[in-house]
Amino acid sequence: MFKEEVYKNRRQKLKEKIGTGILLFLGNTEAAFNYPSNTYSFRQDSDFLYFFGLDQPDLAGIIDIDTGEDYIFGNDFELDDIIWMGPQASVKDRAARVGVKNTGALKNLEEVISIAAKKGQKIHILPQYRNANIIKLADLLSVSHDGIKTFVSLEFIKAVISLRSIKDEYEIVEIEKAIETAHLMHTTSMKMAMPGTIEQKIAGTIEGIALSGGGSVSFPVILSTHGETLHNHHHNNILETGRMMVTDAGCETALHYASDITRTVPVGGKFNQRQKEIYEIVLKANLEVINNSKPDVFYKDMHLLAAKTIASGLKELGLMKGNIDEAVNLGAHALFMPHGLGHMMGLDVHDMEGLGENYVGYDEEVQRSEQFGLAFLRLAKRLKKGYVLTDEPGIYFIPALIDLWKKENKFTDFINYSKLESYKDFGGIRIEDDLLITDNGCKVLGKPIPKTVAEIEETMKKNSN
Ligand code: GLY
Ligand code: MN
Ligand code: MN
């Protein structure tokens, strides 16, 4: 974990932002996989990690803004636990490491909450995403499961988002560590992308690299020669020459900071002409965003910049036509890039999404569009120094979507459906980097991962099959 001061400062800033009341945080519990004692690997709640740093199950934290006191509640290990799981530091000792002096057993939490309620203190909670914690909170607050929503506090959500959005130097070091491991995951994936290999062999190998880096994957590996399926978690295709393979994968560090990188490579290691043409367009979109992202720029405008770059490139190839500004304003390009350009990244790969995507990516200045494609943009608001976000444009040839739009005569002024027929077997290409917004621009985080056609072909020469 970070130094005690880091957590103390974070809690102090949160107190100052909210001003009064009790902030209640439930850490996560173990979650059963297929029977009670066989659990998924434990993942602590990211807000609990951010403010209290402790990475064990069954803990709760309280920040009493009115008295200035912080508390951690949890049960110490008993002999049975020690026999099965080994010795553990006491809750008191663990809490001291993150600057919290007040500790208690879990059963005391109820009493503290009930005293606060009697004193008329406002109890603030964050939105919940795990049923076990919804049930616990409902019991603790003496309301129905649905009733806990009345304790969800917008000022708490907004204060947490404003703090977690700006990454400090220690967090950047962690994120760069996660990208270091992702570098090995992606270069290994490239070297293994040879005809005859089954996707699961590569997906399993790179998930193992994530685990051996000290964390886990930051989301289930997306690896497919059908990259036109945006989040393809099936890995049962056999690689064939002529197809592209998308690998969208990242890992968490031991402290749970994420990386999220995508590379797309030609099976066998050599781009053919058609693959190279589409690839260069996606790469240009990715680079345009890197060259133009800086404080005060709306990320929605970066999304539109990527969209225009893609539409212009496709026009040069004869797949789109007409006025490109008009095509993008109307959303015609979304046939090829139906997703958003990117999202915040930090302790969650889609950072803070559990608190509400619209609070993280939108604000009073920019609201979510309802247009197909643009509606899926997770981050649209103005960028600030210290934001970490992804830049992940793509071009996909999705046969079902092409057929539907063609049948509906959609955007016939902008899309050349007859030429598109011959691309329906192409698949998809996505390129994703993780960016840090700096004083007057942005920095691509981590050691560069092969990205140009030449770099990828060079890396794939060293195939490791
Ligand atoms: N992890 C999926 C994405 O790139 O957002
Ligand atoms: Mn990704
Ligand atoms: Mn991403």
pLDDT for 19-31, tens place per residue? 999 999 999 999 9
- Distance between CA 239 and CA 225 in Å, rounded? 7
| 163 phi and psi angles, rounded to 5 deg | -75, -50
Q: Token match 């996505």: residue? A: 430
Q: Which of 139, 165, 191 is the last residue of a domain?
A: 165
Examine the domain organization and report whether 382 and 407 are in the same domain. yes
- Whether residues 145 and 181 share a domain: the answer is no
Find the angle CA(324)-CA(327)-CA(332) to the nearest 5 degrees: 130
- What pLDDT score was predicted for residue 318? 98
**379 CA distance to ligand 1 centroid (A)?**
13
219 and 156, same structural domain? no
The amino acid at 84: W
Residue 464, pLDDT > 60, answer: no
The percentage of residues in the chain with a pLDDT greater than 90, rounded to a whole number, is 96
Both 235 and 259 in one domain: the answer is yes
The angle subtended at Cα 190 by Cα 187 and Cα 195, nearest 5°, is 155
The residue range of the domain holding 217 is 169-461
Same domain, 194 and 60: no
Is 234's pLDDT higher than 90? no
Q: What is the mean pLDDT of residues 59-79?
A: 96
Say yes or no: 263 and 407 in one domain. Answer: yes
CA of 141 to the centre of ligand 3 (A): 36
Which pLDDT score is estimated for 15?
98
CA atoms within 13 A on the CB side of 121: 24
Q: Whole-model pTM?
A: 0.96
* pLDDT over 80 (residue 312): yes
Q: What ligand is nearest to the CA atom of residue 186?
A: 2
**Pocket lining: 433 vs ligand 1, CB cutoff 6 Å:** no
- Number of CB atoms found within 10 A of residue 365's CB: 10
pLDDT tens figures, 249-283: 999 999 999 999 999 999 999 999 999 999 999 99
Q: How far apart are CA 50 and CA 23, in angstroms?
A: 14
Average pLDDT of the chain is 96
- pLDDT-derived band at 104 (thresholds 50, 70, 90) equals very high
Give the CATH number, domain containing residue 371: 3.90.230.10
Residues written for the chain: 465
Amino acid at 210: A
**Strand intervals (E) in 10-79:** 22-26, 32-35, 38-39, 60-64, 69-73
Q: Is 248 in the pocket of ligand 1 (CB under 6 A)?
A: yes
Q: Are strands 433-437 and 442-444 parallel, antiparallel or unpaired?
A: antiparallel
Model pLDDT for residues 125-140, shown as the tens digit of each residue: 999 999 999 999 999 9
- Confidence band for 230, pLDDT divided at 50, 70 and 90: confident
Q: Give the CATH number of the domain where residue 154 resides.
A: 3.40.350.10
**Mean of the pLDDT values across residues 220-234?**
90
Among 217, 221, 246, 260, residue to substitute to test ligand 1 (most atoms within 8 Å of Cβ)? 260
- Pair (118, 228) in one structural domain: no
The answer to whether residues 102 and 195 belong to one domain is no
The pLDDT of residue 49 is 98
pLDDT beyond 60 at 445 = yes
Q: How far lies 383's CA from each of 53, 146, 259, 293, 329, in Å?
A: 27, 35, 19, 8, 22
Q: Using the mean position of ligand 2's atoms as its centre, give its distance from the Cα of residue 263 in Å.
A: 9
pLDDT at residue 288 in the model = 98
Q: What are phi and psi of 430, to 5 degrees?
A: -135, 145
pLDDT of residue 68: 96
Q: Determine which helix (DSSP H) or strand (DSSP E) holds 303, and give its type and residue range.
A: helix 299-316
Q: Are residues 143 and 292 in the same domain?
A: no
* CB of 207 sitting under 6 A from ligand 1: no
The number of folded domains in the chain is: 2
pLDDT band (50, 70, 90) for residue 459: very high
Domain end position, chosen among 148, 165, 182: 165
End-to-end CA distance of the chain: 38
Q: How many CB atoms lie within 10 A of CB 90?
A: 12
Which of 216, 218, 219 for mutating ligand 1's site (highest number of atoms within 8 Å of CB)? Answer: 219
Q: Is there a single domain that holds both residue 158 and residue 240?
A: no
Residues 117 and 173 in one domain: no
- Residues 320-361: pLDDT tens digits? 999 999 999 999 999 999 999 999 999 999 999 999 999 999
Nearest Cα to Cα of residue 186 among 228, 217, 215: 217
Vertex 282: Cα angle to 379 and 446 (nearest 5): 65
Mean pLDDT over 79-105 rounds to 94
Tens of pLDDT, residue by residue over 247-257, are 999 999 999 99
Residues 183-198: what's their mean pLDDT? 98
- Residue 167's SS3 state is coil
Q: Which atom of ligand 1 is nearest to the CA of 343?
A: 5
From 112, 132, 165, give the residue that closes a domain.
Answer: 165
For the Cβ of 392 lying below 6 angstroms from any atom of ligand 1, the answer is yes
Per-residue CA distances from 101 to 62, 165, 303 (Å): 12, 28, 46
User: Is the model's pLDDT at 462 over the cut of 90?
Assistant: no
CB of 260 closer than 6 A to ligand 1? yes
Closest ligand 1 atom to Cα of 378: 5
Instruction: State how far Cα 446 lies from the chain centre.
Output: 16
Whether residue 89 is found in the same domain as residue 213: no
- Could you tell me which of 426, 400, 447, 398 has the C-alpha nearest to residue 264? 426
pLDDT (tens digit per residue) in 161-181: 999 999 999 999 999 999 999
Q: What is the pLDDT of residue 463?
A: 65
**What is the predicted pLDDT for the residue at 144?**
96
3-state class (DSSP) for residue 459: helix
